[in-house]
Amino acid sequence: MKVLIVGASGTIGRAVAAELGKRHDVIAAGRSSGEVRIDITDPASIAAAFKKVGRIDAVVSAAGHVKFAPLAEMSGEDFEIGNRDKLMGQVNLVLIGRESINDGGSFTLTTGVLDSDPIRGGSSASLVNSAVNGFVMAAAIELPRGLRINAVSPGLIEESAQAFGSFFPGFETVPAARAALAYVRSVEGSQTGRVYRVL
C-alpha cells in the first residue's frame, strides 16, 4: 500500500512509519520536514499535499496541537488553537483527502487518553480528542467506496514522558512502538468507526 503519514517526524509518527514501512510504501509528511510539506491548519496546504502525492491507499495523521493551561487561564482563542489544528486539521485531512484515496482505503486519526481520563490543564485536549472520536464514529457510516476511518487514542507516550509527564501524575506510559501497532491495525485491518485505545 501507499501510505501518507502526516506528522511522520514526531514521536508517534516515527514509530508508525517504522512499522508500516516494513511492508508498505510510506510517504512522510509534516509542517517543516518530510517528503511532502503540509500544514493541517491550512486547507490549501492540505489540498496541495494530496495533489503532490497522487492516489494513495491510506492516510495516517499523527499531527495536531492543543494548548495546555489551567481552565481559569484559558480564553476562547486558546481553545481555538486546538480546534483549528488537531480537530479541524484532521477533519480537513479526511474531507479533502477522500478524493485521493483509492476504494477501500483508510484514514487513521489521533486523539489521546484525555478523551476519557481528563487532567488539570487539559480541557482543550479533552474537548478536541472527544470531538475527533465522535467525528470518526459518525463519518464511518457515511464514507463512500468502502473507505474506512478509525482513531487511535494512546496514553502518555513513554518517549514523551520527560517533557509532558508532569501533566500526567500517576499515569502509566506506553512505548511509541506499542502505540504504533494500533495504527497498523487500522491501516491493515478491516474495521471502521473504531477508537483504538492503547493504555
pLDDT digits (tens, 9 = 90+) for 121-161: 999 999 999 999 999 999 999 999 999 999 999 999 999 99
The model's pLDDT over 7-28, given as tens digits with 9 standing for 90+, comes to 999 999 999 999 999 999 999 9
Task: Give the integer Cα–Cα distance in Å for 30 and 48.
Answer: 13
Domain CATH number, residue 90 = 3.40.50.720
pLDDT, position 10: 97
The model's pLDDT over 25-83, given as tens digits with 9 standing for 90+, comes to 999 999 999 999 999 999 999 999 999 999 999 999 999 999 999 999 999 999 999 99
At 38, phi and psi to the nearest 5?
-150, 130
pLDDT, position 144: 97
- CA distances to 16, 48, 106, 182, 189 from 186, rounded to whole Å, are 11, 25, 8, 6, 5
Number of independent structural domains in the chain: 1
Task: Give the integer Cα–Cα distance in Å for 197 and 152.
Answer: 6
Cβ count near 104 (within 10 Å)? 12
Task: Give the integer Cα–Cα distance in Å for 12 and 86.
Answer: 15
Task: Give the integer Cα–Cα distance in Å for 86 and 68.
Answer: 13
Q: Give the pLDDT band (50/70/90) at residue 89.
A: very high
pLDDT, position 76: 98
The model's pLDDT over 176-185, given as tens digits with 9 standing for 90+, comes to 999 999 999 9
pLDDT, position 141: 98
Whole-model pTM? 0.97
Q: Which domain holds residue 78?
A: 2-198
Residue with C-alpha cell 516515527? 14
Segment 83-92 mean pLDDT: 98
Task: Give the integer Cα–Cα distance in Å for 12 and 29.
Answer: 13
Q: Which of 111, 95, 129 is nearest to 186 (CA)?
A: 111
Question: With 0-12 CB in 10 A as exposed, 13-18 as middle and 19+ as buried, what is 185?
Answer: middle
Task: Give the integer Cα–Cα distance in Å for 139 and 119.
Answer: 28
The CA-based angle 80-85-89, given to 5 degrees, is 125
